[in-house]
Each structure stands twice: as structure tokens, then as C-alpha cells.
Structure 1
Amino acid sequence: MDILRFITAGSVDDGKSTLIGRLLYDSKSILIDQLEAIEKQSKNREDGEIDLALLTDGLRAEREQGITIDVAYKYFSTPKRKFIIADAPGHIQYTRNMVTGASNSELAIILVDARNGVAEQTRRHSIIASLLNIPHIVVAINKMDLVEYSEDVYNNIVIDYTEVAKSLGLKDVKYIPISALNGDNIVEKSEKFLWYEGESLLDHLEKVEVANDINYTSARFPVQYVIRPQVDELHDYRGYAGKIISGVYRKGDRATIQPSGIETTIKAIEIAGKEVAEAYAPQSVVIHLQDDVDVSRGDMIVLKDNQPIVEQEFEALICWMGNKPLIPGNKYLFQINSRVVRSVVRDIEYKLDVNTLQKIDSPAKAELNDIIKATIKTASPIPMDSYKDLRENGGAILIDETSFVTVGACMIQ
């Protein structure tokens, strides 16, 4: 089975955690001891119902305030697909948390409270989803039970959000009316929505096609480990292990090692110890080269006819995650896939208002949760692609040199 990674986002109290709890509960993905613990914690509720939000709001502060603070990851599966859910907080001061959760997501569920319609935070989360190039969007119009399952309310929200999607260039957008609290249209189609002709949320999550999102034309293989067994029976064995992040590799292909630019030929490809004729993203493989060339961790094996950009100075959108501000001239470790080099942030061109997309020119620094466009200069050349063209080789992080804490998420322009 394949895996769908998705994130839920929306305004505070839109019901994100309840929605995930309902998905887990109704798909029978909760262990008995988990259910018993939640039942005990829900016993003081006036309605006597189980508080499904407690399945994801694991921190004590979250439970006391009834909000999500950190990104909570949950895993479940159905007979058709496996799922990894990132439940992101709605508050603006936790923008970095949403960026963290969304960076590996293939789909975003953006919740809209049917009573409030498209709000400021709805637009902000949609902007972040577009910046992170998430290919599939589901607009889940929640709390329809509080507007008497009105078709007119649903249609008005669809009209409003369609304008937002158009302005941000969001393409694959699906609208689903739901009630997370009552379970309407979550796992099974609800009879309360006789006017709705679409599928339930889980049906859509099981069917959405993610294989087409993989880039099979730009071959990129970052080397994670050089295998040299150093034993007599494998005296000449030299394999380069890693995960193919995009493209297709075949035995006999002409390849280039980046950033050195050395050309060679693929002699063999192994998967799980067995030789194969070809391999493709996202498989983990060992590649053997015809020539005895210098290849180290962090280098990239690419096919000769489709090369990445190789630069030492480039522009990137940066979501700042550090408690200390980013000031031009600051030095950090720059990591893209398995390659780590020293770098300096030279200039900040502008800061982006994540609510309006307005650009504030030449700010003196970037504070926690700011999104900026800046120039980065690295100590050695980096093989990379623009984030818009290839997320897998266009996303990077900045790491504090002393604490080794991740302080910035980069999207190469």
C-alpha cells in the first residue's frame, strides 16, 4: 500500500483535532486502552460524549486551553491506504509549526467553520500551502450541523474560497461539507447532505492520486552513505546508498556526479541486496559506478541529460524558526538532503505578510515565524532545483552552528 501524508490546518476552534479524532475513531484505528483513557478524561463533559480532540492534543497545556500548540502526528490505515496525519496549530505565532508539518505533506485539509466562512487564518494557511507547493487541497467545511446543513452556506463558502485558490494558483481543490463532531461525511456519506453529490472525506483521501506527483524526468540521487565492506570476498565492492528522490535510473545510463561534474556510467543497481535493471523514485537503492571516481556523502548522482542548478549563491524563501533573530551576515550550516555546508545569509530582500502576501522591503532582521526572501552564500557549490519545480531538491534547512538546532526552513527560488 502507498502512504498519503496530509496536514490539517484552519482557524482556532475550527475542529481540526476533533476531525482527526473522528477519522481515527470511525475507521476503528484506536487501541482499546487509548479509548478507555479518553473516556476517563471526557467523563466531566455535560453531554457525556467522548472528546475525540484528546487523541491529538497530547500536551497538558493544549488540553487545558482546548487548542493545538505543537504539531501532532498520527498514523492509521485502511484496507486501501496508509496515512500519516500532521495536526498543525491554528495560531499565527505557530506558523513555524505549520511549515514543519506541511513540508512533507502531499495534501492539506483546510478547515472552514461554516458559521464564519473564509477567515483571515484560512487565507494564511492557504498561502503557506501554496508557498510549500502542496499539490492537493481539501476544503472541509465543518460544523455544518450548526447551520442546519444548509446548501446555501456551503455554496457561498465554495464561491469565496474559489477566489482565494485562484489568486494563489491552487489547482486541485476539493470541497467537502462535514460535521466532525457528529461524524457526518467523515468516513461514510451522511444522509444529512442529500444535496451533496460528492464523496466522504475518507473516500477522497483513499482515492486521491499521489503517484502522479512524483517527478520521473529529473533524476536526482543524493548519496547518503558509501558502502565499503572491507572484507576479502567483497574486496572491490563500492556502492553508493541512498534514496532516489526523483527520476528513473537504469543500468548503463550515463551519469554525472555533482557538484564535481565528473561523468561516469551506472554499472549496477541493487535493491535489498538484489541487482535490478532499473529503479525509480522513491525507492532506496545502492548504485555502483563503472569508474573509480571520488564520490562522498552529500554528492548527487544525476543523469547527464537533465542537470540540476549548481551554485554557491542563490535566493530562497526562509521561514525563520529560531528564537534569536536572523540578521544579515549571520552564519549557519546549510543542509539540503544529505549535503551539509557552511553558509552565510547575505541580504534580506523582503519580508512576506502571510495574511496578505504583501512584501515589506529590506527589513533589518527576521524574527520568529517571519517568512523572508534572502540571498544565501555557501562555502561550496550546491546541486539544487527551484522548490517550485522539484520540492525534493529545492527544500533545505539552516542549522545553528553551536546548538545544532534547526532555525530556518528554506525554499530555493
Structure 2
Amino acid sequence: MKFVCGPAGFQVQAADPAMPVVIYGQAEKGQVSVGGYTRHLIKKTHLEISPQAWDFLSIALSIVAADFSDLRAKSADGWTRTLELHIAVQDPVFWNAQARALEAALRFLTTDIWTFVFHSGGYGPPAQLQAFHPREDSVALLSGGMDSLIGTIDLVSQGRNPYAVSQIVRGDGQKQDDFAQSLELSRIGLNHVARSPGLQEPSQRARSIVFLAFGLAVATSLDRYHQGDRVPLYICENGFIAINPPLTVTRLGSLSTRTAHPEYLGRLQQIFDAAGINVQIQNPYALKTKGEMMAGCLNQHLLKQHAVTSTSCGRFQRFGYKHCGRCVPCQVRRASFMRWGEVRDSTPYVYDNLSIDTPQYGRFEDVRSVGMAVASAAQDGFDQWLGHSLFSPFIIDKNGYRRMLIQGLDELATLHSFYGLNE
């Protein structure tokens, strides 16, 4: 499917029909819109964003709009799509030189086939008559999830002063604000607000790129950045979910999310470096499980206060803003509470008792997949189960990742043993 993405009225000559995507504006009937309120919010805060970071934000918004609008069910294999995006930016020469690198990063993230063509005519960052350069020393993505909560707690405990950036998601906005206030952090909440005239693709494997783009934009507004220093951009995610090894042979590729995978983040870092964007993506928990993150959190009092209210579920909105209790992220969460042991997990799970032998509980696909992974590692050996999951030039400390993945699978095995699922 082809998309033409830019300000209202932006057009390119194309032989095939294309879906218009209006960035930072209101779409007409039959068009897609994205980021309509983002530009206004950033202008309102007086943050001075670098032009290249703003171009990346425009690109990320276009990617999310395309991912949102192109249904996987209509593809030849029911999953892999072919997407061609023509995007208006300020510096088309640079971005066309980076198109192949960006396509590779997105293909790794979503397993779709992406093509990018960049054109002049894109919006630049809002002009700020009274530019504000925040004094914070870094940026931390604060999602409302437990990992980003622990990450910001630890940063503050270590004497850092991060600027919290949130992607506003219905059901999480208040807790994002609560987390930031409890840590006395400045926070900005942004949202891509994509709207499509047709049905919406539910998988949306590329949506995380805009969260990172929000963080990148804010990082370039900091006083430290404008003084010429390199700014850390913290994406705090436990290593087990970041690698997300396929639990079974049927859960390959983008069926498991790769939002914080070191290869995806490493490919984007190379693009940022080529753009001269002096921001460094960091995940301090790449070699830790979620359980180890909880046990090692540097302010246990704050973690006990907020852990249960944090969000982990991959289907949180679908279940009325409740944790389902049975998806892989929920199982990792529940296993982590067991590993932590400091507070009883009082999260109100929709499917709480996994020992119930029905398709909704113990025989649900994700529960069975975890059980099969535990059994396969025990029977055939961990490395046989792990397969090629660590075969990436961006994964340097393979022994460290292997240790972490063994521990993560062991935490899940303990959860399943508690419910009698591996007997």
C-alpha cells in the first residue's frame, strides 16, 4: 500500500493510487491524519527542537499512520505487508541517503517490507520566540509500565535528573502523572492521535517508534544538548522482553514485539549519529529480568507504593483497562512479583487462576506457549530452545544475555509450577 505523508495539500506524482496522510493537521474525508495536536503541545511548552529530530518525528508519525491503516489480513500471507511511504521533510537529501537503513530497522521491527522516499515541503519545528531549554540532564521514557517506573526511580536514586516523556495512552495518563510527581520530575505527555477512515490494524507493531521520536525531540531541547553535550535517552525495558525470544516455532518474528531489541535500537542509533543528533539511546536493564529489576530497585518504598498500579498487559485496553493475566507480558509480570517477594501481587487479573483447565485460562495460547518453552528448554537444553535469538551484530555480550534469558525462563517456570501447569 502506498502513502503520501505531509502537510495538508502535500502531493507527489505517483503512478499508483496513494492514501493521503496529513501530518500535524486535520484530514479531509477519506484521508488519514496523525500528530494533529503534537505540534501545538510542543509549541506551547516553548521547547526548541533540532530540525533533524523534528524530521525524524515527522517520519515516525508517518510510519505509525501507515501501520495503523494497512490491514495485515489483506496481505498475501495474512501478515507481511508491503508499504511505500512518500514523506515530506526539511532535509530530503539526507533522509533519502538513510532510507535503506531506516527500511532495515523497520523491517526488523515489524517484518513488513518498507520503502521510503523523501521529498521537500515538510514542516520544521515550531518557531519559539522565547525558547525554553530545560536543565534536566537526560530524558526518560515514562510509559506507566513497571519497567519505566523502576528505571526512573533508579535514575533519581542515582542522582540523575531526567525529563520524563510520556506517550499518552487512555488508561495510563493518570498513573504516568502520579509516577512523575512522586519522583518530582518534569513531564510532558504527547500522543500521535492517528485517525483512519477505514478499519484499524490491531497489531500496530511500529507504534513504539513515535514514543522514541517524542523522547528524541525533547532530548534535543535540553540545555545540555544546546551546550554541545551528548544527552542520554533512557528506554528502560527488562532484557527478557527486549529480546523476546520466540517461545515456540509458531511465535517467530514480529509476532513477538521488538520495541527495545538491541538490534532495532542499534540501527536507529546509527541513523541518529549520521544525522548529527547528539543523543544516545540507553537501556540500563538489557541484561536483567523484570524480577531482577524489581528486586534491585534502589527505592523499594516507592516501588511498593506504585508497583501494583503499573501497567504490563499487552491487551490492557481490550479488557477495559484491566490486566488480562494470561498474555506473555502479564505472565512475566506475575513471575516477577514472585521473584521479588516484597509485596503480594494484588493486581486484579481478568484471568487470575491459570490452573483452571480451560481455553480461557491454563490452555490459553500464550500460557501454553510459555509452558512449551519451559518444557523444551528442560528436555532439549536451553541453547537448543534459544536457537538464533542472540545472532545479531548488535548483541555484544552474548553470555550476559544468555544468563539473563535463563533466569527469565526460570522465573516463568516458577509461575507455572505455582499453578501446576508444568506437571
Q: TM-score range by the shorter chain?
A: under 0.3
Q: In terms of Rg, which structure is larger?
A: 1
- When you count helix as a share of all residues, which structure comes out higher? 2
TM-score by length of 2: 0.25
TM-score by length of 1: 0.25
Larger relative contact order (CA 8 Å, sep ≥ 6) = 2
- When you count strand as a share of all residues, which structure comes out higher? 1
